Amino acid sequence: MTIYLASESPRRSMLLQKIGIDFEHIKPNAEEITETQLSPEEYVKTNAIKKARSVLSQIDDGIIIAADTVVVKDDEILGKPLDENDAIRMLSKLSGAIHDVYTAIVVLEKGTDRMEIEVEQTRVEMREISTKEIQKYVESGEPLDAAGAYKIQERGAKFIRWIEGCYYNVVGLPISTLVEMLKKFNINV
């Protein structure tokens, strides 16, 4: 059975390759919601489901994997920054503070419409980051393509004091959770 990754994230592709999953990449065609009255869990679940369902018409059969990740600080959902100023605002908010990262994973089987959904939460503490450090990091361009305006697996690692929970959740795809979900579809990794 063919596995499809409904994502534009190179990080998610890299993680699937890393654990030996053969898959085909398929670009989702879904408008992400921006409704911030939802809980973080419902927000990421809704977006991940929309991504998975948006590719159904592009395949004949198979398993679709989709995910959505956000950072949450003081009840504010921080997705990808809109621009450099938004990235500076997000990093300033996260500086010296604890925040949560939520990722929803959807595994959807075309044909049966069977769907499994899981949400992972990881706590992260950033050290104090100076205005100069934030500016330099934002100028690198790295934060503009990441929830919460940082990438823990790249240059953003230098800002992280500790994490509690799944590291790969912060990267954007909690691998152990995904492996357990795939077992429910008789796919062993």
Task: Let me know if 68 is a catalytic residue.
Answer: yes
* Beta-carbon count within 10 A of 76 CB: 13
Going by C-beta distance under 8 Å and a sequence separation of 6 or more, which residues neighbour residue 19?
175, 179, 189
Residues 14-43: b if buried by 16+ CB within 10 A, e if exposed: ebbeeeebebeebebebebeeeeeeebbeb
Provide the strand spans (E) within 9-146.
24-26, 62-73, 76-78, 98-110, 114-126
For residues 76 and 139, the answer to whether their CB atoms sit within 8 Å is no
Q: Indicate the Cα dihedral angle 15, 17, 18, 21, nearest 10°.
A: 100
Active-site residue (options: 60, 61, 68, 83): 68
Nearest to 129 by CA among 157, 158, 95: 95
Catalytic residues: 68
